[in-house]
Chains A and B, each alone.
Chain A
Amino acid sequence: MSTTSRPLEQQVTLIELVDRVLNKGVVLTGDIVLSVADVDLVYVGLRVLLASVGTLDRLEREVE
């Protein structure tokens, strides 16, 4: 998406807007599907990784 032709305020606003419309907002579908090189990958595994790393971090801080 070309941003350079617009004044700066519009560029900033556009970037923030696109981020919200494409990356935020409610998602209803069950699996999170990511496209990499037009190949859809299911990220259930990554969720588990994130959760366990987060738990580890929290547990460690509780010990301190």
Chain B
Amino acid sequence: MLHLYALAHRPAQLAPIEGIDGSRLQVSAASSAVDSVVSVVSTPEGQPSEAAILEHAAVVEHLAAVNDALLPARYGRGYPDEATLADAIAERESQVQAALERVRGCVEIGLRVFTDDPGVTRAGESTGREYMVSRLREVRSADRLAGDLHDSLAAAAKESFSRVLASPQLLLSATYLLPRPELGPFRTALAVAEREHPELTFVCTGPWPPYSFAMIDGDRR
């Protein structure tokens, strides 16, 4: 079975790293302009193991270092043969090419901003109205604060998406697509935001290969 790691603009460059379970990385010519990077693995049962997930991530990481436009693939169920994979890509060729151009030269940064604002607990309300008023206040102030933070950071980004109050403590969760030269300005903007908001906890991870911007159907979250 073929395990797919990523799609790249032809010609895809391989990296000196093994695939899952010591398998050998191969380039499979998917279409006129798109190559896929795969390896042959035995059919997995149930959940992927932690080792397999880490190996997949390591391969994608290495491929992103030598391919300017790379779409990381989700850890999938595999393909029975090259023809099936090529068909799947051909069906969406224009979207795949568009996605490759979108992520060219870019990395991904993930951000989560936490608040320990005690006003979030709603044990105090007794009436429906009190509940609504308190929720509205919560949502308004979160929107304002998260919006300001996100705007300042998204300035450096080619694309981004964000979510406010995914949970009571998680004020902002955002993902940014940054052209590599913008990493510096982004870090500066982040440092400014942290200085201005000592009451918040910022957790910023990356740079990642552009997993979150590799999706080719519908809207991203």
Contact = CB atoms under 8 A, between A and B. Distances in A.
Interface stretch (B70-78, B121-129, B139-147, B183-191): B70-78
A9 B205 CA distance: 10
A63 interface: no
> B interface, by DSSP: helix, strand, loop or mixed?
mixed
B208 A47 contact: no
Question: How big is the A interface, by class?
Answer: 10 to 19
B211 to A, nearest CB: 4
A12 B212 CA distance: 17
Nearest to A17: B57
A13 B205 contact: yes
A13 B53 CA distance: 13
Interface string A1-28: 1000000000011001110111111111
B218 A47 contact: yes
Chain B's interface size range is 35 or more
Contacts of A25: 71-75, 211, 214-215
A24 B74 contact: yes
Contacts of A20: 57, 72, 208, 211-212
Contact of A18 (B53, B71, B73, B215): B53
A13 B217 CA distance: 27
A38 to B, nearest CB: 9
A1 B203 CA distance: 21
B88 A21 contact: no
Contacts of B208: 16, 20
A8 B208 CA distance: 19
CB-CB nearest 7 A-B residue pairs: A25-B74, A24-B211, A20-B211, A28-B88, A26-B214, A25-B72, A26-B71
